[in-house]
Amino acid sequence: MDPLATVEIKAFVPARDYALSQAFYRDLGFEEGWSDGDLTYFRRGNTSFLLQNFYVKELAANFMMHMLVADVEAWWAHVQASGVIERYGIRSIAPQDQPWRMRDFVLVDPSGVLWRIGQNL
């Protein structure tokens, strides 16, 4: 066994309004593994991240997450059906092919964090 083998890597995602962001990610379909007043562990399948009760506007406005999925159109349909775009008043861009050989769409969470959700072409 490789003693330097990695198991997982997680980002600490900032939240301007911690409770609102928790609700957003639950509504988006992430499962809350555990939570306290400062940190929430969210997961979906083999992906996960930590939502933190911490916010600096410049950090959040420049923070990006990328989630690779098997079917970007199914995820886009899921996002639309969930109602999070309207409920949280967030920005989104519909799926499109990118020059980096991916098809992805964009969501900007309630704190300004940009998510690219896509699949390889």
Q: Does 24 fall in a domain?
A: yes
Q: Does the pLDDT of residue 63 top 90, yes or no?
A: yes
Mind giving me the DSSP string for 90-108? Answer: --EEEEEEETTTEEEEEEE
Q: Does the pLDDT of residue 7 top 90, yes or no?
A: no
The mean predicted confidence, pLDDT, of the chain is: 97
For residue range 106-115, list pLDDT tens digits in order.
Answer: 999 999 999 9
Q: Does 3 fall in a domain?
A: no
CATH number, domain of 73, equals: 3.10.180.10
Helical residues (DSSP H) of the chain, grouped into ranges: 18-28, 57-61, 72-82, 84-88
Number of domains present in the structure of the chain:
1
Q: Does 109 fall in a domain?
A: yes
What is the residue range of 36's domain? 12-120
d(CA 4, CA 26): 33
Q: Does 75 fall in a domain?
A: yes
